[in-house]
């Protein structure tokens, strides 16, 4: 299953490149640059695959064999996809939107004309500046020497450097609940002692697993309802030109699925992807999903492109039922027949 994180990384890279080209072609404003690239790069790797894959496994004519086995393996693939996608979203797309939102004031400042009559300059009159006596000069010199001596020590202070890095990256926002859940899931899955303690019908702490599973099952319809509420805001929003919306739809539902088909087929041909049709189906599905809903949360954090994000989400999710149905049908035929 090592190919799945690599496959998700490819979706982010290709989506970012296509989103950047879309920004250049459409001439979208600077404040929407991060939003457009993020919508093209990050797909909804969370609740939609959790709905689609089990539904496909329960079909009578499913090409993936026994429904119980398909559901067991399918949920494992989807869980890994959701975890890796959350890490990439909050570490990659988050910083793209953050950088883009910081560049907006600089562009406005560079393009605005400044009236000299409205600018007040603070000047220092040299005649009123007090003269420094020798004692004060000696104190300043000693302070300068002391600061130069202490500077290298503070620069090599690892704790201070890590603190400064954490403040700049704003780890509190990057470590969203979904990212923390993914990290905890990886830890439990990698450490055998924790896995035996928590996972399985005979695990001593299986009540914890049952409680988490119940919360997770209830979270899927709740997130879907929240997603629908956010889409309603798009009916009132404006400010997004039609070429941008059409471009995002073309990237998410035409270009990326075609590229994904070629990449997965090449991986199978080179022996990099296992022959499991269900695993290949999940890999292909990752290229045909609408934009991640957490992009709306990211835009709200920085206060830029909120209404525009709702408009893009409205159109992409309105067409998702048609696009996902067509691509899912093609993907199932592709992994079984092709």
The answer, yes or no, to whether residue 9 has pLDDT greater than 90, is yes
Q: In 3-state terms, what secondary structure has residue 44?
A: coil
pLDDT at 18: 95
With a cut of 80, say whether residue 4 has pLDDT above it.
yes
Residue 236, pLDDT score: 60
Count how many Cα atoms sit within 13 Å of the Cα of residue 288 in the half-sphere of its side chain: 25
Q: What angle do CA 218, 223, 225 make, to 5 degrees?
A: 100
217 or 126, which is more confident? 217
What residues form DSSP beta bridges with 43? 291
Q: Look at 190 and 293; give whichever has higher pLDDT.
A: 293
**DSSP class of 131:** P
Query: Which of 70-84, 190-204, 230-244, 299-313 has the weakest average pLDDT?
Result: 230-244
- Picking from 86-100, 167-181, 289-303, which range would have the lowest pLDDT averaged per residue? 167-181
pLDDT at 323 > cutoff 90? yes
**Mean of the pLDDT values across residues 129-139?**
45
Mean pLDDT of 158-169: 59
CA distance 231 to 44: 14
Which SS3 state, helix, strand or coil, does residue 306 take? helix
pLDDT tier for residue 27 given thresholds of 50, 70 and 90: confident
Q: Residue 24: what pLDDT?
A: 92
* More confident position, 312 or 157: 312
pLDDT computed for residue 15 by the predictor = 93
Burial category of 132 from C-beta neighbours within 10 Å (exposed 0-12, middle 13-18, buried 19 and up): exposed
Mean pLDDT along residues 287-315: 84
Give the percent of the chain with pLDDT over 90. Answer: 21
Predicted local distance difference test score (pLDDT) of residue 174: 58
Neighbour-count burial of 103, counting CB atoms closer than 10 A to its CB (0-12 exposed, 13-18 middle, 19+ buried):
middle
Query: Average pLDDT, stretch 14-41?
Result: 90
Domains and CATH numbers, the chain: 2-102+170-337 (1.20.1530)
What confidence score (pLDDT) does residue 179 get? 65
- DSSP codes joined into one string, 232-288: HHTTT-----HHHHHHHHHIIIIIHHHHHHHHHHHHHHTT-S-S-HHHHHHHHHTTS
Do residues 44 and 81 make contact, with C-beta atoms less than 8 angstroms apart?
A: no
Give the whole-angstrom CA distance, residue 267 versus residue 127: 77
pLDDT at 119: 40
| Cβ pair 209, 198 in contact under 8 A | yes
Q: How far apart are CA 76 and CA 279, in angstroms?
A: 10
- Highest-scoring range by mean pLDDT, 92-106, 149-163, 239-253, 296-310: 239-253
Global pTM reads 0.71
């Amino acid at each position: 299953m090592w190919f799945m994180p690599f496959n998700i990384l490819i979706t982010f890279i290709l989506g970012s490149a296509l989103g950047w080209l879309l920004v250049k072609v459409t001439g979208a404003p600077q404040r929407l640059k991060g939003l457009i690239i993020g919508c093209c790069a990050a797909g909804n790797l969370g609740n939609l695959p959790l709905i689609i894959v089990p539904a496909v496994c329960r079909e009578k004519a499913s090409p993936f064999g026994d429904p119980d086995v398909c559901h067991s393996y399918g949920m494992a693939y989807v869980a890994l996809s959701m975890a890796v996608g959350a890490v990439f979203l909050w570490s990659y797309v988050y910083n793209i939107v953050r950088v883009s939102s910081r560049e907006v004031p600089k562009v406005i400042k560079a393009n605005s004309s400044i009236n000299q009559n409205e600018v007040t300059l603070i000047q220092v009159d040299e005649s009123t500046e007090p003269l420094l006596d020798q004692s004060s000069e000696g104190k300043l010199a000693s302070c300068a020497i002391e600061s130069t001596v202490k500077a290298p020590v503070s620069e090599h202070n690892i704790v201070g450097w890590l603190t400064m890095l954490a403040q700049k990256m704003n780890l509190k926002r990057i470590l969203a609940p979904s990212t923390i859940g993914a990290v905890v899931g990886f830890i439990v899955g990698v450490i055998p002692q924790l896995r035996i303690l928590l996972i399985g019908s005979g695990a001593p702490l299986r009540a914890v697993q049952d409680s988490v599973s119940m919360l997770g099952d209830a979270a899927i319809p709740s997130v879907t309802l929240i997603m629908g509420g956010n889409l309603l805001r798009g009916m009132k929003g404006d400010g997004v030109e039609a070429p941008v919306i059409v471009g995002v739809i073309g990237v998410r539902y035409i270009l990326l699925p075609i590229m994904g088909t070629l990449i997965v087929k090449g991986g199978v041909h080179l022996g990099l992807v296992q022959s499991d049709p269900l695993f290949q189906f999940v890999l292909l599905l990752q290229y045909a999903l609408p934009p991640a809903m957490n992009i709306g949360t990211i835009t709200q954090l920085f206060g830029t492109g909120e209404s525009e994000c709702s408009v893009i989400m409205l159109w992409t999710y309105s067409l998702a039922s048609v696009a996902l149905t067509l691509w899912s049908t093609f993907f199932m035929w592709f992994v079984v027949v092709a």
